[in-house]
Each structure stands twice: as structure tokens, then as C-alpha cells.
Amino acid sequence: MAIRHEYESHGVEGFYKSRGGAYRNPHEPMIARSIAVAAREWQLDLTSVLDLAAGSGEATLALRDVGVRNIDAIDPYTFEAYENRTGQPAGHESFEQIAQGALAGRSYSLIVCSFALHLIERSRLPQVCMQLSLISPVLIVLTPHKRPHIREEWAWTLEREMVVQRVRTRLYRSASVG
């Protein structure tokens, strides 16, 4: 069954709570290619990266392939799968906790969020975006469709966008961190 149908049957949270330990994103090859192209063409600062909603490490593994060594990860549901695949632990903070300031005081040169921000409740997305804008000057969002629509009033400005193998990759600049 397609993941979209699983989300409809069990809800996003229910799906990941029951299957998070064994989760694998079926779009991993496209995610890896998108990250490789973005790293090459967008001249990203890869000094310190947060893999947000890290899944089983798809973005982390792609980031490692382009030379990134300092990667933190967060995923409240798939942290086991992430650790098993990458050999490093992941934080357990949820989007709700992030919206409430759970990442305050951290600092990253880049945040990568792959196939997850479009799953956040619309009412929570502005606060999550604003909190993320306080800890990194750049946010890259990979998504299988046009969502999420991140607005400038949420402290991010869309700077670049590309589509690689039907994966939309957007680069946002923070209005809060220079």
C-alpha cells in the first residue's frame, strides 16, 4: 500500500509510531540526487547540518556522500531506524516541541528537511518555521509535491527551487539569522 494511503488509514503520527523503527523512504535515490545537485550548484555552507525529520537517514547518507561530517538528526518516530542505518543517534523532538522552542540555543549552518514539512498540521507550520529560522540561516526543503507553502511572514524567503526526478527542492533564507 502507498504511504499516502497508510497516512489516510492510520494518520501520519499513527503510521510512524507503528512503523518508525523499520521505515525506509522509497524515494531515497531521488533525495540523494537532489541533495547532491543542491550541494554542487547552490554553494551551501555544510559546516553544521541538522537533518530534521530524519527518517532512516536518507538525507544524512546523501550529505555524507557530498562530504558533510557534522550532522545532527531529529526524528521522534524513526530514530531507531536512523541509528541502525547511520550509526549515530537522533534526537526525539517532535514538530510540536520544536514549535514550543525545544531547539532554542542550537545553531546550524543548514537545516535539511526531506519529505516531512508537508505533513505538519497547517496551524503548527508557521511556529515551526519561525523557530527554525532562529537556529539556521538556510533551510532546504525536499518534497514530493508543491507543499508546504512557506510564507515570508514565517521568517523564511524562498531563494531557489529546482525539481530533480519529481522531487522539488527549495532553498529558503532566514530573516532571523544572517
Domains of the chain by residue range: 21-174
**Average pLDDT, stretch 51-65?**
96
What 3-state DSSP class applies to 19? helix
Which one has a higher pLDDT value, 1 or 35?
Answer: 35
CATH number belonging to the domain at 21-174, selected among 3.40.50.300, 3.40.30.10, 3.30.479.30, 3.40.50.150: 3.40.50.150
pLDDT in tens, 102-118: 999 999 999 999 988 86
Which one has a higher pLDDT value, 25 or 159?
Answer: 159
Q: Is 80 exceeded by the pLDDT of residue 36?
A: yes
What average pLDDT does the structure give for the chain?
A: 87
Instruction: Name, in order, each residue with C-beta under 8 angstroms of 122's C-beta and a sequence gap of 6 or more.
Output: none
Cα–Cα dist 54/48, whole Å: 15
pLDDT at residue 25, rounded to an integer: 61
pLDDT at residue 20, rounded to an integer: 46
Cα–Cα dist 91/52, whole Å: 9
Q: Is 70 exceeded by the pLDDT of residue 5?
A: no
**Residue 148, preceding bond cis, omega within 30 degrees?**
yes
pLDDT at residue 3, rounded to an integer: 44
